[in-house]
Structure 1
Amino acid sequence: MHPYFSLAGRTALVTGGTRGIGRMIARGLLDAGARVFICARDGEACATTAAELSSYGECHALAANLASEEGARALAEALQARIERLDILVNNAGTTWGAPLESYPAAGWEKVMQLNVTAVFSCIQQLLPLLRKAGSADNPARVINIGSVAGLSAFGEQAYAYGPSKAALHQLSRMLARELVGQHINVNVIAPGRFPSRMTRHIANDPEALAGDTAHIPMKRWGREEEMSALAIALASSAGAYMTGNIIPIDGGFHL
C-alpha cells in the first residue's frame, strides 16, 4: 500500500461494525494497517465478526448499546481501559423506520433521531479525550460520520425520520468540524447511496424492486464494498489530513 494511505500504527473504532457499511469500513481500515475495534449491541455477533475480520489485521470486539447516553459513556470507559488514544472514530451505527405518513409513529421518529443523531453526538462527546490525545497539527485525529444521500435529497420512501436525521447529522458534523479543527480533530461525512446491507436487503432480494431502484441511479448499479472501504481509508489517511467539514456523497450520481 502506498504510504499516503497507510494506517499502520493507528487505532480505530467503528460503531455498528458487524455488518453492512460498518463492516466494509472496518475491513478497509484493517487492510490499511490499523488496529480496529468494532462495537454493536449484540455482543455475540460482535465477537464473531471481530474473529472473522482478524484474518485481515488486529480486530477487537466491544459490546455497546448506544440507545442512551449511558451506553455511549460505557463504551468510552471500556475503550479508555484498553487504549491510550483514538486516531479514527467511525460513527456508523444507525437505524431507519418506514410507515405510511398517516400512521407514522412518534416512537419510530424518536428511535431514528436518537440513534442517528443523538448517539453520534454522545459518542464524539465521550471519546473526545482519546481523540485529543491522538491528534496533532501534522496528523489530526479523524471522525468519520456515516450520513446518507437521503439527507441530501427528498427521495424518502416513507422513511420520514431517516432523511431528516441524516440531514441533522450532516449539519452537526459541520458544526463540530469548525469547533474541533483547532484541537487537531477532523470531522467529515460519508453520505452513501445504495450499498448492500441489512437495511437494503429487501430491495436486493427482489429482482423487480432492484431494477426499479437501480433505474434512479445514473451509474445504474449499487456501490461495491471496496469503493466504500477506499473512501474511508482516504479520509482516515494522509489523503484526508487537509479535509474537514465535508459531506461526501458516494452514490453513483444519485444526489444529482
Structure 2
Amino acid sequence: MSDHSGSNHAENLQDAHTEQPSLAGRRVVVTGGTTGIGRAIAVLLASEGARVFICGRTPEHLDDALARIREVGEGDGINVDLANREDVARFFAAADDWLGGLDIAVINAAVPAEALADTPEDDLDYQIAVDFTSYLTTTRAALDRMGAGSDVVLIGSMSAVSRSGGSSVYVAAKAGIQGFAHALREELGDDDIKIGLIEPGFTGADFQYPDYPPEKQRELIGKAQMLRAEDIAAATHFMLTQPRRTAVSLMRVETRRDHP
C-alpha cells in the first residue's frame, strides 16, 4: 500500500507546479479599467493583493468600478480620454501620486470600429487614436516608469487573426498591436521587462452594445458562444504569475463554439 502521510505527500508535490510569484503589493495601472475586460482584470488583480489604478471616460463607470475593486482590495482612478496626449500624461501623473511607482501595466482601452468606407473621417481619427496610437503612448509612459521585473500586458483582439470584413479599421489597429507587441518584446527582453499580448475572442461587455444587449449576451455566454470578461482576466492573471524566466508571450482566448 502506498504511503499517503503528510510529509511524503508534501515531498511529492514539489514538482507539481512551477514557481508562482505573488501579485500582493504589485503596483498596477489598467487603461480602460472601468468597464468590460479592463474592469474584470482590475477586480481580479486587486483581489490578489495588487494596488490598482484605473482610468475610463465616464464618471459613473469609474465610480462603479472603484466600488467593486474596493470590495476586494485597493484601487483608485480618474476619468481621462486617452486619445488626448495631455490626458495620457495626466493619468500617469495621478498614478504616480497614488501608486508611488509602477510594476505592471495592462494596456486595454479601446472603442468599437467598423468598415473603413462606413466611418466618417472625424470618427476614423478618433478610433485610430484610441485603438492604436494610445496603445503606444500609454505603453511608452508605463515603460518610462518601469525597471527590471516589470510586466506589460497588451489586450489586443482575435480580429487581428480573423481579419473579418466589416471591421477593417478595428482589424488594422489590432493587427498593428500584434506586430508592436512582437517587436517590443525583442527590444526589452534583456531588460527583464516582459511584454505579453492577449487576444480575446467574442467577449461580453458594453463594448458590444447595441448589437448585443445584456440579455442576448447572457444567452450567448450560456451557449459557450461568447466569453465573459472574467475569462480574459483569468488569462491575464496566469500571464502575470509565471517565473521571470518564463514569458507567456501570446494568449488567444476563444469561445468553444462559434458565435452567430
SS at match of 1:195: coil
Instruction: Give the alignment partner of residue 10 of structure 1, picking from 19, 23, 26.
Output: 26
Give, as a single letter, the amino acid of the residue that structure 2 aligns with 1:190. Answer: I
Q: Is the 8 A contact 1:203 1:210 kept in 2?
A: no
What displacement does 1:175 show? 1.3
Residue 237 (str. 1) matches residue 253 (str. 2): no
Q: Is the 8 A contact 2:40 2:229 kept in 1?
A: yes
Number of aligned residues: 240
Give, as a single letter, the amino acid of the residue that structure 2 aligns with 1:183. Answer: D
The answer for unaligned runs of 5 or more in structure 1 is none
**Which residue does 1:146 correspond to in 2?**
155
**Which residue does 2:70 correspond to in 1?**
54
Quick check: 69-78 or 140-149, which moved more?
A: 69-78
Q: Is the 8 A contact 2:43 2:68 kept in 1?
A: no
Instruction: Give the alignment partner of residue 122 of structure 2, picking from 107, 113, 117.
Output: 107
Cα distance change on mapping 1:254 and 1:109 into 2, 3 Å: farther
SS at match of 1:81: helix
What displacement does 1:152 show? 0.9
Q: Is the 8 A contact 1:84 1:130 kept in 2?
A: no
**Which residue does 2:52 correspond to in 1?**
36
**Which residue does 1:71 correspond to in 2?**
87
Query: What is the distance in 2 between the residues matched to 1:3 and 1:57?
Result: 24
What displacement does 1:22 show? 0.6
Instruction: Give TM-score, length-normalised by structure 2.
Output: 0.81
Q: Is the 8 A contact 1:145 1:189 kept in 2?
A: yes
Cα distance change on mapping 1:206 and 1:59 into 2, 3 Å: closer
Cα distance change on mapping 1:151 and 1:240 into 2, 3 Å: farther
Deviations 1:43-97 (A, max 9, x none): 4531332122200101112222211222212222222223332111001101123
1:173-192 pair list within 5 angstroms = 173-192=181-200
Quick check: 72-81 or 197-206, which moved more?
A: 197-206
After superposition, the CA RMSD in angstroms is: 2.8
Query: What is the distance in 2 between the residues matched to 1:47 and 1:225?
Result: 19
Cα distance change on mapping 1:104 and 1:82 into 2, 3 Å: closer
Sequence identity, in percent? 26
1:63-212 pair list within 5 angstroms = 63-98=79-114, 102-132=117-147, 135=148, 140-156=149-165, 158-205=166-213
Considering only CA atoms, is the larger Rg found in Structure 1 or Structure 2? 2
Query: What is the distance in 2 between the residues matched to 1:180 and 1:87?
Result: 15
**Which residue does 1:228 correspond to in 2?**
232
Query: What is the distance in 2 between the residues matched to 1:190 and 1:165?
Result: 14
Q: Is the 8 A contact 1:204 1:210 kept in 2?
A: no
What displacement does 1:222 show? 1.4
Deviations 1:208-237 (A, max 9, x none): 8998x89xxxx8421134422211111122
Cα distance change on mapping 1:96 and 1:204 into 2, 3 Å: closer
Residue 250 (str. 1) matches residue 253 (str. 2): yes
SS at match of 2:20: helix
Cα distance change on mapping 1:79 and 1:24 into 2, 3 Å: same
Instruction: Give TM-score, length-normalised by structure 1.
Output: 0.83
